[in-house]
Amino acid sequence: MPRYALKIEYNGAPFNGWQRQAELPSVQGAVEAALARLEPGPHTIAAAGRTDTGVHGLGQVAHCDMAKEWDPFRLSEALNFHLKPDPVSVVACTAVPEDWHARFSAQARHYLFRLVVRRAPLTHDAGLAWRVMQPLSLKTMQAGATHLLGQHDFTTFRASECQAKSPVKSLDRLEIEELDYPGGREFRFHISARSFLHNQVRSFVGTLERVGAGAWAPEDVKTALEARDRAACGPVCPPYGLYLRAVDYPEDPFG
């Protein structure tokens, strides 16, 4: 069967995460329903990452198998037509080999978290960034983040319901930048690894926010990591500032 890779963008607010659920709206369910409008029969797609409820996608990658050959441009146009009015868009589509897999062929996943510091509620970015009101120190958050880089047992930063076989992961990048924002400041967390544990990124950001606010010292992040105890983690931040930004493959299927 012809296989196609899809690069998908979505606003996660109205969905109970990526993964299909029988009685609840999901991004996977929306895409599969659109595919069923093009070719009859059940469709099952696989994605690079199963984002949680409220998490957004800028560069989610999935693959689908079709019964007939499609021009990739026509397939993406048809899917976008049938995805309306859901906030989901196929921004790129390409034919891939039958053994190519959106999840298992991936080499790295890149996440972005947006945190805005200001007193006023967010308007244009409501539901798209986490707002906090107390000032944060970029320098101390960066110092705390250094303790998380490399290979570690991340039990502390892993949700209790996480189904990963091992808590040991390698964190390749955790960089924080500070930007101007109307009436305040924006902090962007750029986080990359081959794979992640459930709630790992949100646990990182929630903990580092406590460091930036002065409630934790940067060295407390190291202490929490070495505790290998979920109770040692800082607060888990809300999902709506988190974006799956991009996925890397040995060769970029989208060129």
Q: pLDDT tens digits, residue range 40-98?
A: 988 999 999 999 999 999 999 999 999 999 999 999 999 999 999 999 999 999 999 99
What pLDDT sits at residue 161?
Answer: 87
Are 237 and 130 in contact by the 8 Å Cβ rule? The answer is yes
> Bridge partners of 248?
108
Are 192 and 108 in contact by the 8 Å Cβ rule? The answer is yes
pLDDT at 185 over 90: yes
Question: What distance in Å separates the CA atoms of residue 101 and residue 12, rounded to the nearest whole number?
Answer: 23
Are 156 and 227 in contact by the 8 Å Cβ rule? The answer is yes
Question: What distance in Å separates the CA atoms of residue 182 and residue 101, rounded to the nearest whole number?
Answer: 42
N- to C-terminal Cα separation, the chain: 22
| Domain at 3-105, CATH class | alpha beta
Are 197 and 154 in contact by the 8 Å Cβ rule? The answer is yes
Q: Which token pair is 211?
A: 């460091």
Common-topology check for domains 3-105 and 108-246: yes
Are 26 and 20 in contact by the 8 Å Cβ rule? The answer is yes
Which alpha helices (H) appear in 39-151, and where do they start and end? Answer: 72-83, 138-145
Are 162 and 91 in contact by the 8 Å Cβ rule? The answer is no
What CA dihedral angle connects 216, 222, 226 and 230, to 10 degrees?
Answer: 40
Per-residue pLDDT band for 1 (boundaries 50, 70, 90) equals: confident
> Bridge partners of 46?
63
Q: pLDDT tens digits, residue range 152-178?
A: 999 999 998 888 899 999 999 999 999
Look-up of token digits 């007193």? 119
Question: What distance in Å separates the CA atoms of residue 176 and residue 197, rounded to the nearest whole number?
Answer: 20
Is there a catalytic annotation at residue 229? no
Give the global pTM: 0.96
Are 7 and 63 in contact by the 8 Å Cβ rule? The answer is no
Domain ranges of the chain: 3-105, 108-246
**Which residue is catalytic, options 52, 86, 180, 248?**
52
What is the fold of 108-246? Answer: Alpha-Beta Plaits (3.30.70)
What pLDDT sits at residue 173?
Answer: 98
pLDDT at 22 over 90: no
pLDDT at 36 over 90: yes
Question: What distance in Å separates the CA atoms of residue 244 and residue 64, rounded to the nearest whole number?
Answer: 19
Average pLDDT over residues 126-154: 98
What pLDDT sits at residue 232?
Answer: 97
Tell me the CA distances in angstroms from 251 to 48, 106, 120, one per residue in order: 15, 10, 44
Q: Which token pair is 76?
A: 């993406």
Q: pLDDT tens digits, residue range 198-209?
A: 999 999 999 999
